[in-house]
Structure 1
């Protein structure tokens, strides 16, 4: 058998570990009927939530009131497809045409990938973190000169702990590759509000021996 990627291994191990378990309902503003055999082995949070839900609620409902519904939807997509896509927007939204013209992983996706990464960290879903980070890096290479890129960097630096370097390092690397961004006033303002971002960027240039070229 060909070697499996981490997400594929997650799926196989989930099915094998708890194949006899039943389903649960994950609820935000939407409700998803999910299989405990899929979600519980991947996350101790969901394993504990399933145990508590079935003790306290005959429907086995797991409520996630603090999480953005669209991002939870992407998490559920990942559980079953080992991938996720942005939910479709209304066709009469004038922004839709502009977004469809962007390549896969365009500007609007940057913040979404950062939020998916944050959610995956919250619920300890390692494969989803890896996937979101990979998608972010691909998108950033195409759409770094956008306001959404700044929003994604802000998400990385305000919604993850200091020791979680994945998304933070990806944002720093993207900035370093396009240092002309640093001449923009909106970028300067954003960086001023991002705590250790400026220090991290300086250390990145130092490690690369480029500190005097900035």
Structure 2
């Protein structure tokens, strides 16, 4: 990352941590977040409208988001200043020089999921685009496979009602602790900790929904990237099953961002249809049930 980008991120981190010059208060339940109009209004049409029109919010300088998920609101505010969430780099780390050609970084980039790096071409958030300008692109520059493309591993017998459903592994069982020793030995902490985090699929789904609600495109793209990366590794966990209602009930049906990730997981891992936990989720989620019905009959899912 260039020195100018590091300086910019460090400045925003200082504003967030000190609340200096804040001119707007975001309330959510018993939490209050002092923010800066210049930061939040330039990133969200909702905040811009709330502060630009003669409404209660612009007069009082307080925006009440208590009806939203409290955790998602906190992550949204955090993203405004750090261009990330679920991690808070210290000012010392932001100022620490990095060497893109170091062997430790090369090893880390080869082994962590490529979609943890958000390509600047897909980020409409101007600060996110600037901060990611130095991100390393995929070596072969190949386009990602369509989430609705048929999987070569698809087998119709997995959907047979006579097939016994295996138990879904617990979250602790699906998180391979041996990965920690392997990654920590050859990866910098701030470069690999995104992959080493335990599954937060429900959190990512909530952040995706609030980003869509308030028109924060960069955060929405980031949440989808994080959700997709962790779904790839934790598709058999109870956390993945728990995240599906969030995916299908917090956004409109036409929003395919996370729905396509879920459907692709079923394409790549048909054994999900034999999971007892997943059976309960499908029964309680009509949108997913309908899409899996179409998938089973070889019809397009959209």
TM-score (norm. length: structure 1): 0.73
- Match of residue 48 from structure 1: 49
1:184 aligns with 2:275: yes
Question: Which fold has the larger relative contact order, with Cα–Cα distance below 8 Å and residues 6 or more apart in sequence?
Answer: 2
Residue in structure 1 matching 2:284, options 161, 173, 193: 193
C-alpha contact (below 8 Å) 2:22/2:34 kept by paired residues: no
2:79 alignment partner in structure 1 = 78
2:218 corresponds to: 127
SS in 1 for 2:63: strand
Q: Which residue matches 1:212?
A: none
After superposition, residues 57-136 of structure 1 pair within 5 angstroms as 57=60, 60-85=61-86, 104-107=196-199, 109-136=200-227
The structure-2 alpha-carbon separation of the partners of 1:86 and 1:114, relative to structure 1 and needing over 3 Å to count, comes to farther
Q: Which runs of 5+ in 2 are unaligned?
A: 3-7, 9-20, 89-170, 181-194
Q: Distance in 2 between matches of 1:100 and 1:61?
A: 44
| Greater Rg by CA | 2
Equivalenced residues, count: 180
Matched, 1:154 2:245: yes
| SS of aligned partner of 2:286 | coil
1:48, CA displacement in angstroms? 2.1
**2: distance between equivalents of 1:77 and 1:68?**
14
8 Å contact from structure 1 (residues 105, 139) kept in 2:
no
Q: Contact 1:120/1:128 (CA < 8 Å) preserved in 2? A: yes
Aligned alpha-carbon RMSD (Å): 3.1
TM-score normalised by the chain length of structure 2: 0.53
Select the structure that is richer in helix: 1
The CA deviation string for residues 80-131 of structure 1, in whole angstroms up to 9 with x for no partner, is 11111169xxxxxxx99x9895853432x01000000011011111110000
Unpaired stretches in structure 1, ≥5 consecutive residues: 3-7, 9-20, 88-94, 209-214
Q: 1:46 to 1:55 in 2, by over 3 A?
A: closer
